[in-house]
Amino acid sequence: MKSKTRQRGRMEPKLPAAIPAGSMFPFWRRIGQEFAIRIHKWGVPPNICHALFHLHLYPGHSEPAEVAAAVYMPRQTMTFTLDSMEKNGLAVRKPHPKDRRRKIIRLTPKGHKLAESVFRDLLKLENSAIKTIKGADARAFRVFMNRYADALSAENERDLRTRKE
């Protein structure tokens, strides 16, 4: 397969014929890659990063099943992710105060510090990119993105209802 070189020496494969012209998929792939590249500099695998952000931003929702549901990760993968976080000193499992069968996940000070640093760095990356969109284009971009996200959400809801019937 022929490849073309993109900025900063990255290789971007030619768009596969299976992806229709006008699809947003190539944009989401590129955006995901750029965030993954930024996260990679911190040495944090994506699964750990998702769990780390959730536990940092929503500490009241910290049972393993809640975290798995919030980041759309299978529970078995979440168990492996939490094991890795504990091994690296980022989180600890604590007994649930009212139910011995359940656990609560808490970030350690090291986990909070890493989450805050990575989160701030990603916001800086995002803000730098958004600053390149000026005035009316910036407002139109936000309106478009919200409308697009709402449409995706509505389609997923329809799909979920159809599967339940």
Is residue 1 domain-resident? no
Domain limits for position 115 = 37-153
Is residue 99 domain-resident? yes
Is residue 129 domain-resident? yes
Model pLDDT for residues 48-68, shown as the tens digit of each residue: 999 999 999 998 888 999 999
State the amino acid at position 90 in one-letter form.
Answer: L
What stretches of 23-128 adopt beta strand conformation (E)?
A: 91-95, 103-107
Q: What residues form DSSP beta bridges with 91? A: 107
Is residue 18 domain-resident? no
Is residue 68 domain-resident? yes
Is residue 29 domain-resident? no
Is residue 23 domain-resident? no
> Among positive and negative, which fits the CA dihedral 94, 96, 100, 102?
negative
Please state the domain count of the chain: 1
Is residue 32 domain-resident? no
CATH code of the domain covering residue 127: 1.10.10.10
pLDDT the model gives residue 108: 96
Residue 159: both structure tokens together = 């799909």
Task: Please list the ranges in the chain whose pLDDT falls under 50.
Answer: 1-6
Model pLDDT for residues 14-36, shown as the tens digit of each residue: 777 788 878 888 888 889 889 99
